[in-house]
Amino acid sequence: MDSTEKTKPTVEELLTKAKKPAQLSPPMHKYYEGKMQVIPKCAIRSVDDFAIWYTPGVAAPCREIQANPDKSFELTNRWNNVAVVSDGTRVLGLGDIGPEAAMPVMEGKSLLFKYLGGVDATAICLKTKDPDEIVRACELVEPSFGGINLEDIASPKCFDVLEKAAEKLEIPVWHDDQQGTASVILAGLINSFKIVGKKPQDSQIALVGAGAANTRTAYVLMRWGVKPANIIMADINGIVYSGRKDITEDNRWLKYLSEVTNGEGRRGDVADALKGVDAVVAASKPGPDTIKKEWIKTMADDSIVFACANPIPEIWPWDAEEAGARIVATGRSDFPNQVNNSLGFPAIFRGVLDVKAKTITDDMCIAAASELAKYAEERGINEHDILPRMDEWEVFPREAVACALKSIEQGVARIKPSRAELYERASAIIRNARESTELLMKGGLIKQPPNEQELLK
């Protein structure tokens, strides 16, 4: 028995560990009564300052903005405000749980925005499932925000909401379940292909699951340079191919992919999709038997397996490795190679906000992914370490700059700072967010939580 087998956790141990955050989360949320608050960012030397910050002085900046609405990005916090918008129809692995129940997730997103990207984000959960009403809501709140992060909206309407909102609004709109996931997956694949010594453009990639994440991943991979014919998608009904009767114009994004991917014209189930491919990206049903060991064995040598379902990946990493996979990534933090959206959205929004961009494009996502991969490569990568980690905070300013520069290059930035100015600004804002939280904790203004035993009483 080798050392890997000696330390391999049992399924029961993993399930127990996976359940622990869920056990602690309700009492922790109750203890803090939510996760976000609003505090001043301006100096208040005495109550006399309210004459500047409010009436009568505030009338002057109001008049300036009336004359030029873009000045709202200079004279208010709009430049750093992002709305986290959801209808609660596709929350994590919970499904359609409603807007009220979605609030803890959207607050959590706001927390990550602030701590990792220095972005002030506000949870906005809408009491509607109508895609046109969601788009209209985004239009109505646009004057208060510098960006919109769509979150946990069911597929396929999420594609339509993103497309229409991006067309109508003059601020960046993105859907993290689409573009965020695709960005981090691309970063992981860039380094994985380097490690195994294969060219992605000449490799076959299977995408298991055809929801928001993998649909957008397919588009981003194609934009990056992967040949459409080399992508093989599969969903609950089997391999996606041109003419499959259940793929209709109701999901025109998947219909388009059915016409340009799968150059071999493969048919069959997920097992057939994996035969001979170099990499598989699964964003589907939690496992551990959604993808089977015998299917991994049929993949090409030095195969790459991304099993991204949470809390249980589609296949356990050690099973994939025993079946021949050289690189295995999951969505979990307790396994090597975590594919985590938190590496993407805080910094990408930091970048577009810092140039007051009007949109987010797939090219910006690719720029962010390339910088993520580059950062990891520079500090060293191997089969079990392909991506940066959230505690490597220095990656976030670099990623923000890459995204901002691409915004400038594509002509969608309202201002054009230099690379050095962008890096200094992003670093300062992100550092401020982290250090402010630490100071509030040290000063007791954010209380330390009780121990686990007390919480679980």
6 is catalytic: no
241 is catalytic: no
Looking at 17, 54, 127, 168, which residue is catalytic? 54
- 83, β-bridge pairs: 122, 148
Give the neighbor-by-neighbor strand order of the sheet with 81-86: 120-125, 81-86, 147-150, 173-175
Q: Is the peptide bond before 311 cis (omega within 30 degrees of 0)?
A: yes
The alpha carbon torsion through 84, 87, 88, 93 (nearest 10 deg) reads -80
Pairing of the two strands 231-235 and 238-239:
antiparallel
Cα–Cα distance for residue pair 127/102, rounded to 1 Å: 11
Cα–Cα distance for residue pair 122/36, rounded to 1 Å: 9
Measured between alpha carbons, how far is residue 298 from residues 207, 407, 440 in Å?
16, 42, 54
Looking at 35, 109, 114, 374, which residue is catalytic? 109
Closest to 337 (Cα-Cα) out of 179, 185, 215: 185
Cα–Cα distance for residue pair 138/165, rounded to 1 Å: 7
Cα–Cα distance for residue pair 299/344, rounded to 1 Å: 29
Cα–Cα distance for residue pair 262/243, rounded to 1 Å: 12
Report the amino acid identity of residue 17.
K
Closest to 113 (Cα-Cα) out of 142, 148, 141, 87: 148
Report angle CA 114, 418, 405 to the nearest 5 degrees: 65
The catalytic residues are 54, 109
